[in-house]
Amino acid sequence: MSQSVSRIAGVMASPPRLRIPGQSRRPRRIAMLSVHTSPLHQPGTGDAGGMNVYIVELAKRLATLDIEVEIFTRATTGALPPAVELAPGVLVRHVDAGPYEGLAKEELPAQLCAFTHGVMQAWAGQRPGYYDLVHSHYWLSGHVGWLASERWGVPLVHAMHTMAKVKNAALADGDTPEPAARVIGETQIVRAADRLIANTAEEADDLVRFYDADPAKAAVVHPGVNLDCFSPADGRAAARARLGLPQDAFVPLFAGRIQPLKAPDVLLRAVAVLLDQDPSLRTRLVVPVVGGPSGTGLARPEGLQKLAARLGIADVVRFRPPVGQEQLADWFRAASVLVMPSYSESFGLVAIEAQAAGTPVVAAAVGGLPVAVRDGSTGFLVPGHDPAAYARVLREFVDHPQLVDRMGAAATRHAQSFGWDTAASATAEVYTGAVADHRRRGRVHHG
């Protein structure tokens, strides 16, 4: 009698999820896949961008929730050890797949077999049940994740980051459409995944509309921002002093990969319109472009410099290579506004980072940017990509300098709700749901 009472008491006193058979639980260790871009690479170079930041920050925060993360990525140099500890509880595993140097993203599908082999080898060296879940990022990783999850008998959670059909529906002039192979691959992954993580409700809708995803599988988790790094800190004046920018200048900034999709040319053309309308602005206008060529932009790496010269604005534009997060935060603080005229943007992490640093954003009304930017409060959303429309909005900031400070303060407040801790907790909930569903299905199949 006393034994059964104590057993019942034990059940009641313990967290129920630890006691009830089949009850959902968080995974202890996950395999995170990032085939085409390493979390160790500098964002803003090559194919490294917001997704790199996303993977690094998410993995670190998941580790603080006692979910160990092993990130598999393609080795791009022979000098790297097979495994590198990125942070406590976060391991980056380098997989040999294809030549280290000079392999474009478009050539990577041919290396997926080799990459999958490397992932399977790492798994084979562990005890059974080592990984509880696979979280793949971008469609290339999704294919490896699909196979790994089937082989290991664990759920697959997939994040698209960008989608071929959405990109192809909003191509920049002269940009190359995404290939049919990618569309087919994404369709297969959407069908195979236990859960799909979307950055915004609109992205979740796109998964259903373009890829016929099961709405119950799509979970919306807003990406976060490193609020310790991206903050107003000691203010605009100090940041300008550090970067050698004039204190009284109007500084519209572009920060990101230089490729047609991101449309930095729209900012340059808008600046040319501004100077045509008011030549006196030339003495107090500085336009920094911080980033490196990427994607289809690699075909003409000097294209933007040549455009600036052709437009007669080379004297006000300052091209700077990609920088680390600390210095990027300084560029955001120093700017009057961040300009993001992208044709497609699944979320627009840069917009949140700039706002966290106290800078308003002028952005295209596409993708996740209407979630990232509060139109009329933390910046302005511009429909379309007409340089004259961007010039009109920039003119508002020139004519009303107090707008920069007022919107900047609202932007800082808005960005506070996008911390990575929130994003990691929400992602952990998605994992828990995926594990529970997977187990339930397993019991149905075996029953």
Please check the confidence at residue 299 and state whether its pLDDT lies above 70. Answer: no
pLDDT at 15: 35
The response to whether 36 counts as a known ligand-binding position is: yes
Model confidence band, residue 13 (pLDDT cutoffs 50, 70, 90):
very low
The response to whether 42 counts as a known ligand-binding position is: yes
Q: Which fold has domain 29-224+420-439?
A: Rossmann fold (3.40.50)
Least confident range from 223-237, 296-310, 425-439: namely 296-310
The response to whether 247 counts as a known ligand-binding position is: no
The response to whether 182 counts as a known ligand-binding position is: yes
Q: Per-domain residue ranges for the chain?
A: 29-224+420-439, 236-416
The response to whether 332 counts as a known ligand-binding position is: yes
Query: Rounded mean pLDDT of the chain?
Result: 89
Averaged pLDDT for residues 131-148:
96
Separation between Cα atoms, residue 228 and residue 436, nearest integer Å = 34
Long-range contacts of the stretch 351-355 (C-beta < 8 A, 24+) = 351/379, 352/223, 352/225, 352/230, 352/415, 352/418, 353/225, 353/226, 353/230, 353/328, 353/329, 353/415, 354/230, 354/253, 354/255, 354/411, 355/379, 355/411, 355/412, 355/414, 355/415
The response to whether 239 counts as a known ligand-binding position is: no
**Sheet containing 317-320: which strands, arranged edge to edge?**
317-320, 287-290, 252-255, 337-340, 361-364, 379-382
The CB density around residue 358, as the number of other CB atoms within 10 Å, is 26
Per-residue pLDDT tens over the stretch 256-284? 888 888 999 999 999 999 999 999 999 99
Residue 81 CB contacts under 8 Å (≥ 6 apart), including other chains: 94
The response to whether 144 counts as a known ligand-binding position is: no
Query: Can you name the residues that pair with 198 across neighbouring β-strands?
Result: 220
pLDDT at 195: 98
Separation between Cα atoms, residue 292 and residue 285, nearest integer Å = 22
Model confidence band, residue 101 (pLDDT cutoffs 50, 70, 90):
confident
Give which of 353, 346, 397, 339 is closest to 369, Cα–Cα.
346
Averaged pLDDT for residues 227-241:
96
Least confident range from 33-47, 179-193, 206-220, 316-330: namely 33-47
Model confidence band, residue 2 (pLDDT cutoffs 50, 70, 90):
very low
The response to whether 376 counts as a known ligand-binding position is: no
Judge whether 415 and 171 are in contact, CB under 8 Å.
no
Please check the confidence at residue 446 and state whether its pLDDT lies above 70. Answer: no
Least confident range from 6-10, 76-80, 281-285: namely 6-10
Residue 293 CB contacts under 8 Å (≥ 6 apart), including other chains: 257, 258, 259, 300, 301
The response to whether 390 counts as a known ligand-binding position is: no
Please check the confidence at residue 8 and state whether its pLDDT lies above 60. Answer: no
Per CATH, the number for 236-416 is 3.40.50.2000
Question: How far apart, in Å, are the Cα atoms of 405 and each of 26, 34, 248, 287, 375?
Answer: 43, 39, 14, 19, 16
Residue 88 CB contacts under 8 Å (≥ 6 apart), including other chains: 63
Per-residue pLDDT tens over the stretch 18-71? 434 444 689 999 999 999 888 887 554 455 567 888 899 999 999 999 999 999
The response to whether 107 counts as a known ligand-binding position is: no
The response to whether 407 counts as a known ligand-binding position is: no
Question: How far apart, in Å, are the Cα atoms of 8 and each of 12, 25, 156, 329?
Answer: 6, 21, 36, 55
29-224+420-439 and 236-416 in the same fold: yes
Please check the confidence at residue 252 and state whether its pLDDT lies above 60. Answer: yes
The response to whether 165 counts as a known ligand-binding position is: no
The response to whether 318 counts as a known ligand-binding position is: no
The response to whether 262 counts as a known ligand-binding position is: yes
Per-residue pLDDT tens over the stretch 150-191? 999 999 999 998 899 988 888 888 788 999 999 999 999 999
Residue 79 tokens, joined: 């000098």
